[in-house]
Chain A
Amino acid sequence: MSLLEIENLSLSIGAVPVLSDVDLSVEQGEIVALVGESGSGKSMTALTVMQLLPHAARTSGRVLLDGANLLEASEEHMCTLRGDDIGMVFQEPMTALNPLKTIGEQVAEGIRWHARASRAEAEERTRRILDRVGLPEAKFPLSRYPHELSGGQRQRVVIAIACALKPRLLIADEPTTALDVVLQAQVLDLLRDLVAENRMGLLLISHDLAVVADMADRITILRNGQVMEDGEAAQVLSVRTHPYTRQLAQASTHVPEIRAAAAHNTLDSPQAPLLVVQNLTRDYPGRRLSLLRRGAPTRAVDDVSFSIAPGRSVALVGRSGCGKSTLARMVLALDRPTAGEIRFRGETLTGRSEVELKPARRDMQVVFQDPYGSFDPRQKVVKLVTEPLHLLEKSPSRAERRDMAAAALAEVGLGPDALDRYPHEFSGGQRQRISIARAIITRPRLVVADEPVSALDVSIRAQILDLFADLNARLGIAYLFITHDLTVARAITDEVMVMEEGRVVERGLTHAVLDNPQSGAAQELVSAAPDLKRALERRLREQG
């Protein structure tokens, strides 16, 4: 008998069908991956097992834990199972912990409740599990609050809560999606070890095939609530029998064709540089210790110099908190450097007034990570896309604005019918196209893109990368691509800069740096980055 056996599970929320006839099983000590794009029903499957579905949910089929059907279990019975027999780790570590309770209280709560342990005993066990997940008491006392910890440390606390009572089944819903690659590798290692130590079954929910290829014994691929393919993980992902599996696998290693043909092979450029950054430094004032005293300032960007030639695509990679975004904000003249100089098209940007910056802003636009948060939901697309036009010398007429917006939308592959619609009518991928249209409407020469594809599903990500490559080839737009995803850097950039603690520690042609990293930071990033091809080769080799 399997530890978890899901049979013919169907789920609808209100009138909307979410899952239909899903079958899935997890054995003791086994890692099973549930893979699919957003909206495929992965998280809902997990919440069904936990019986934490929204009120309007209706289920049919069977979800057996050790042969007992959870769909028929009472709420009281589920309370004894949750946290004790089934643990769960969530995607977003920044919000998964109660901000008003210490980490010790939050871990101990479940132990006291389930094991009826005394306060002292629960604290002792809390200490042990926090130590096990890599938060030793000497550095992370139980009295710490969540806001005093980083994202990776908080995710360790969530894992400690889930694993404190050595559950037999652990469900991890995108446990590393919000973390940078190095933290991702550490957290995945931790999960793998905990599974092995306690012979837990792990249901790992992910959209990342490379992670899954590395971790999972078996895989189930879900699309629109239906199982497309399931089987032994390395086998399924390398043979790719099902067309959807093939599509996912290709999309996740996608390299735009135009780029493959026209990649630049030298760092030198015959043209004068478009952007020159010299000895740039940014300090943030330290935390106020008392009324008159402040702590030492934090140096977010430390003496950075580089240049970007016209039409070049440059990746800025590094771990979270390394200063990438601060650097980008200064390049965009949204933040003032403490020291150093930025020259764009030969003109100095630093210390200029907003009026003086107008021509520079016209030639330099930005695309943000979140296609949902970067639009005013109450404005029509035509208004959103034409927003940067106030930067033009002479303000265009209403009709001209509409034409320019239509042209920009056409560049990104959207029809003129999009003009009079609102952002919520578009999918995530379409919205990212709209934000790219907004960025190119002034015909800029440099676009700064801050993680522009990391919120998108793999197939849509591939399309957006194609779009970036196409605009670069046709319009000669240079890019500064901020990303922690080396696959993206490899797919779309000529050069890469690796940042660590505010400094650029390595710079070179993208393939050269990523294939043969020299600095410690670059080596760390490269070895931690999940890579589908490498992972599959390793797995198949191990299996002979």
Chain B
Amino acid sequence: MTAYLAKRLAIAAITLALASVVVFAVLEIVPGDPARVMLGMNASEAQVEQLRQQMGLDGGPVQRYLHWAGNLLSLDFGRSYTYSVPVIDLVTERLAVSLPLALIALALSTAIAIPVGLYAASRRGKTGDVISMGAAQLGVAVPNFWFALLLVYLFAVWLRWLPAGGFPGWGAGIWPALKALMLPALALALPQAAILARVTRSALVDVLSEDYIRTARAKGMPWRRVLWGHALRNALIPVVTIMGLQFAFLLAGTIIIENVFYLPGLGRLIFQAITQRDLIVVESVVMLLVATVIAVNLIVDLSYALVDPRLRHRT
């Protein structure tokens, strides 16, 4: 178990290091001088030179990379050029919106997907299965911003239950803030739920044909208990894998959704930073997203060991 843990941690650390090289290299590959790219064509030489120094652009690439990576490790992300504040402050402020949004979306998608997958698998080939999997197919096919528009039309314009966009801030109280996150989270969750429901169903169908399911039924366990007690836990292993892989897409989805709903989150920050050529912010936020995805997949790997006793004994 400790060996498994150590190995996974090492793999995560190596992945993160490689990703940082790629992110840094992309910035290097951007044609021309990054400082000039950020400042635009009309900037004076003096301004460019000043920014070059501020960004630490003098010196060789290896030296600059080490300097940058060292700063990242000590959580010093530099200063945003457009906002003129430390990037770390920007990021923490925006995380207060994006993190709850992603977590609510993840919880919602799981809460929708697993019951639907269970239902479809236990009625395999019957009408209920066909209808729910048809709906899931639709969910996979329709893009999340389209869902977002439909949800806004239904809940904000027509029913007037929830705000159509914007974020009052957590200072305005938990409930108004949560209300503002509801529709975006749902729009993010639906396509994810559709994919997860299909995975849950097919994993369950596979597990239900296993010999140990027959053993459990031969013990006299009613169908429902076999499904929940024996099949679901075994089927969760592939489901959790896909969940981890899909988390990256969920984060990518926040960029679009936060723009549709005018939420001051990380996605909107990175979008604005790109349009304003604020490369320091882009770099930092991308690294943060990469680290999050790696961390989620590390958690997934560790959760295997919790679910599956066979892994606890392997390296």
CB distance from B208 to the nearest CB of A (A): 12
Q: Are A99 and B310 in contact, with the CB atoms below 8 A? A: yes
Q: Which residues of A contact B179 (CB under 8 A)?
A: none
Q: Are A95 and B211 in contact, with the CB atoms below 8 A? A: yes
Question: Does B223 interact with chain A (Cβ within 8 Å)?
Answer: yes
Q: Which of A84, A147, A158 contacts B215 (CB 8 A)?
A: A158
Taken together as a complex, chains A and B put the C-alpha atoms of A37 and B215 apart, in Å, by 23
Q: How large is the interface on A (under 10, 10 to 19, 20 to 34, 35 or more residues)?
A: 35 or more
Instruction: Give the number of residue pairs across the A-B interface with Cβ within 8 Å.
Output: 86
Contact with A along B1-32 (1 / 0, CB 8 A): 01100100000000000000000000000000
Q: Are A79 and B309 in contact, with the CB atoms below 8 A? A: no
Report the nearest B residue to A55, measured CB to CB. Answer: B125
Q: Which residues of A contact B308 (CB under 8 A)?
A: 99-100
Q: Are A99 and B212 in contact, with the CB atoms below 8 A? A: yes
Question: Does A87 interact with chain B (Cβ within 8 Å)?
Answer: yes
Which segment of A130-138, A209-217, A286-294 sits at the interface?
A: A286-294
Which segment of A13-21, A106-114, A338-346, A441-449 sits at the interface?
A: A106-114
Q: Are B215 and A97 in contact, with the CB atoms below 8 A? A: yes
Q: Which of B215, B222, B229 contacts A79 (CB 8 A)?
A: B222
Report the nearest A residue to B231, measured CB to CB. Answer: A98
Question: Does B41 interact with chain A (Cβ within 8 Å)?
Answer: no
Q: Are A100 and B309 in contact, with the CB atoms below 8 A? A: yes
Q: How large is the interface on B (under 10, 10 to 19, 20 to 34, 35 or more residues)?
A: 20 to 34
Q: Which of A87, A113, A114, A287 contacts B218 (CB 8 A)?
A: A87
Taken together as a complex, chains A and B put the C-alpha atoms of A106 and B308 apart, in Å, by 16
Question: Does B142 interact with chain A (Cβ within 8 Å)?
Answer: no
Q: Are B219 and A113 in contact, with the CB atoms below 8 A? A: yes
Q: Are A52 and B218 in contact, with the CB atoms below 8 A? A: yes
Which residues of chain A in 67-95 are interfacial with respect to chain B, using CB atoms and an 8 Å cutoff?
75-76, 78-84, 87-88, 90, 92, 95
Taken together as a complex, chains A and B put the C-alpha atoms of A90 and B219 apart, in Å, by 12
Q: Which of A101, A114, A288 contacts B220 (CB 8 A)?
A: A114
Question: Does A96 interact with chain B (Cβ within 8 Å)?
Answer: yes
Report the nearest A residue to B216, measured CB to CB. Answer: A98
Contact with B along A133-168 (1 / 0, CB 8 A): 000000000000101100000000010011000000
| Prevailing SS type, chain A contact patch | mixed
Taken together as a complex, chains A and B put the C-alpha atoms of A471 and B210 apart, in Å, by 40
Which residues of chain B in 198-219 are interfacial with respect to chain A, using CB atoms and an 8 Å cutoff?
210-212, 214-219
Question: Does A65 interact with chain B (Cβ within 8 Å)?
Answer: no
Q: Which residues of A contact B225 (CB under 8 A)?
A: 113
Report the nearest A residue to B218, measured CB to CB. Answer: A88
Q: Are B309 and A288 in contact, with the CB atoms below 8 A? A: no
Question: Does A436 interact with chain B (Cβ within 8 Å)?
Answer: no
Q: Which of B6, B211, B218, B221 contacts A50 (CB 8 A)?
A: B218
CB distance from A340 to the nearest CB of B (A): 28
Taken together as a complex, chains A and B put the C-alpha atoms of A52 and B307 apart, in Å, by 28
B-side interface residues toward A, CB under 8 Å?
2-3, 6, 210-212, 214-223, 225, 229-230, 233-234, 307-310, 313, 315
A-B contact pairs, 11 of them (CB 8 A): A82-B218, A83-B218, A99-B212, A100-B308, A100-B309, A101-B230, A147-B310, A287-B313, A288-B315, A291-B2, A291-B3
The 3 A-B residue pairs whose C-beta atoms are closest, nearest first, are A83-B220, A82-B220, A83-B219
